[in-house]
Structure 1
Amino acid sequence: MDQLAAMRAFRRVVEFGSFTAAAAELNQSHTIVSRQIRQLEILLSAQLLNRTTRRFALTEAGQAYYERCKQILDQVDDAAQAIASHQARPSGVLRINAPQAFGTMELLSWLPAFILENPELRVDLVCNDRYVDLIEEGFDVALRLAHALDDSTYIAKRLAKSELLLVASPDYLRQHGLPQQPRDLKEHNCLTYSLASKPNDYIFTAADGTLHPVVVRGNLQANTGIALRSAALAGLGIAATASFIVHEDLQRGALVRVLPTFALRPRELYVLYPQNRHMSPKVRAFVAFASEWYRTPRWG
């Protein structure tokens, strides 16, 4: 027996004063409604209704049970309406994880607009460059830059391509010369990203598809592209860093691209979120906003 359904049937019978009217309201047969009331009485070991051939009346136990049924069913309906309302619009806390450089330099160029568009949301942004388990650490969504994603635990949506660019300041290049081939980098101070699997090993692809590996060296390595950008702007050397970090510096001439006809392997920007049967409105809104934002190339 579905006890909740039987309670609803009992309530309707009492409020309509008729089995027939209650059955019509519930879109059920008279027989089913009568059976539900009998099953309730058996379950409760109490008679709820005194029946005659033409009418019924509540027993004392039935009156007490009816009052409690109303309270319980109203609470159940209120809970369902609250969840339905919550599911209809983005609300609550959205916990976002992002890489340090991306979160502080790129994400904040559009996150405020997303928050203003969703005023019932509160965002908790955590930026770091370590691997984060979204489920274990309680994140709703993450932005990741990677050559490829091997973890199938999450749903991943590709947003954009992030080129890895070699850059240097005009002053540095005036003093030390402009490299013409990847092998020329051996004569330069190269600023490297320490979290790369092989920070000093670069593999370039030429326009004709040929590969040009080179091992570089320098007097600075850092675990964030922001530090490499700052060092390059100061004229310390040639840095390999993400296009989203330096694209504005390139546009205004503060940095110059080095070896522009050779490409380093780019990384892809993904938005990740746990696999859930029902995607929450806050995650759906964030993924939709990010997808629309990066529909237009941002770091050309």
Structure 2
Amino acid sequence: MDHLTALHVFRTAATSGSFAGAARQLGLSAAAVSKNIAELEAHLKVRLINRTTRSMSLTEAGAAYHQRLSRILDDLSEADAALAPMGSSPSGVLRVSAPLTFALTCISPGIPAFMERHPNLRLELDLQDARTDLIGGGYDLAIRGSDRLEDSSLVARELTTMTHVLCGAPAYFAARGRPARPEDLKAFDCVQFTLSGHAHKWTFRRAGRSVAVPVDGRYKVSSSLAVRDALLAGFGLSLIPRIYVAHELAAGRLEAVLEDWEADRTPVYAVYPSRHLAAKTRAFVDFLLERFASR
């Protein structure tokens, strides 16, 4: 008996509900299906299927075996699929959707080297901060920053976590003063990034204490780059991913406040529709993981 073949035959028969159905799916004769299952039962010393000339049904043991076996065979298929792309060169068109500011800051500088590494690959990188429909838009992969991914059949691989900093221009603080505690923010001009999951409420934590502060400002905008521009112009203060203003903070063009409080954190994921990745998609996921491994 070929044990692996017998396992696949049993699973297919149990799923299809008939020997004839299993035979059609596997390209075998009904007699070959019956023989494989009989040999498997003899090997296990237990009856898996009750069958008559007209019908078949799983025994209690057969149902339990089928459930566990299905998980094992699925894992085996995934292991095979994971290795398959390694033997092929990434090629074709890869369509990726990514948030504009995050991509320009963290990904775009590495794209030329990625493309040089894979000369048979064409990349279409769609940059927009609004969330796109991955399946409906025909994307192979999307990059999403969110502390709450929607329930779906999509696979999400965490890349990094963005910490946020509350900051503004030195001139703004010279004119308006600095908040000493989160609750003071109601007296300041807050610039809000509208696509954030925390656009209207900023949360700060310290020593086990959490403070959620409702914010409302005159300027609400759907681009983190526009938020940064407003901060540099001295229009107000905002809670923004630190990586977007790292250079401005280092140069003194912006200054952080309430640094003794921990602000919001946003996980960033690579999201794709299947665990069985094409070589082109796996290559890009590997590129992202390498890029963020050192951060």
TM-score norm. by structure 2 comes to: 0.67
Residue aligning to 1:62: none
**Match of 1:287?**
285
Q: For the structure 1 residues 216 and 126, does the alpha-carbon distance in structure 2 shift closer, same or farther, using more than 3 Å as the test?
A: same
C-alpha deviation, 1:135, in angstroms: 2.1
Aligned to 1:229: 228
- Residue 150 of structure 2 is matched in structure 1 by 150
Aligned-pair CA distance for 1:274? 1.3
1:196 positional shift: 3.4
Matches within 5 A, 1:2-151: 88-151=88-151
Query: Partners of 1:85 and 1:161 in 2: how far apart?
Result: 28
Paired letter, 1:216: V
CA distance in 1, matches of 2:197, 2:278: 36
Q: Distance in 2 between matches of 1:197 and 1:251?
A: 27
Q: Is the 8 A contact 1:87 1:280 kept in 2?
A: no
Against the structure 1 CA distance between its residues 103 and 162, is the aligned structure 2 distance closer, same or farther, given a 3 Å change threshold? same
Any idea what the Cα deviations from partners look like across 1:95-152, whole Å, max 9, x if unmatched?
0100122123332122222112212211101112333222221111111101032333
The equivalent residue for 2:184 is: 184
Shift in Å, 1:85: 10
String of CA shifts for 1:4-36, please: whole Å, max 9, x gaps. Answer: xxxxxxxxxxxxxxxxxxxxxxxxxxxxxxxxx
Q: Which runs of 5+ in 1 are unaligned?
A: 1-83
What is the CA–CA distance in structure 1 between the aligned matches of 2:91 and 2:287, rounded to whole Å?
15
**Aligned twin of 1:253:** 252
CA RMSD of aligned residues (A): 2.0
1:41-87: CA deviation from partner (whole Å, max 9, x where unpaired): xxxxxxxxxxxxxxxxxxxxxxxxxxxxxxxxxxxxxxxxxxx9996
Change (3 A) 1:181 1:159: same
- Residues 85, 141 of structure 1: alpha-carbon distance in 2 compared, 3 angstrom cutoff: closer
SS of match in other structure, 1:172: helix
Change (3 A) 1:85 1:268: closer
2:155·2:275 contact (CA, 8 Å) conserved in 1? no
For 1:198 and 1:269, how far apart are their aligned partners in 2?
A: 15
Aligned length: 212
Report if the CA contact (8 A) 1:159-1:269 is conserved.
yes
- After TM superposition, the runs of 4+ consecutive aligned structure 1 residues lying more than 3 A away are 84-87
8 Å CA contact 1:156–1:270 kept in 2: the answer is yes
**What is the identity, as a one-letter code, of the residue corresponding to 1:229?**
R
Distance 1:287 1:86, change over 3 A: closer
Q: Larger C-alpha radius of gyration, 1 or 2? A: 1
CA distance in 1, matches of 2:166, 2:117: 37
1-structure distance, mates of 2:85, 2:125: 25
- Note the C-alpha offset of 1:186: 1.4
Distance 1:132 1:87 in 2: 32
User: What residue identity is the alignment partner of 2:260?
Assistant: T
Matched residue type, 1:155: V
Distance 2:198 2:287 in 1: 35
Range that drifts further, 194-203 or 172-181: 194-203
Runs of at least 5 residues in structure 2 that lack an aligned partner in the other structure: 1-83
Normalising by structure 1, we get a TM-score of 0.66
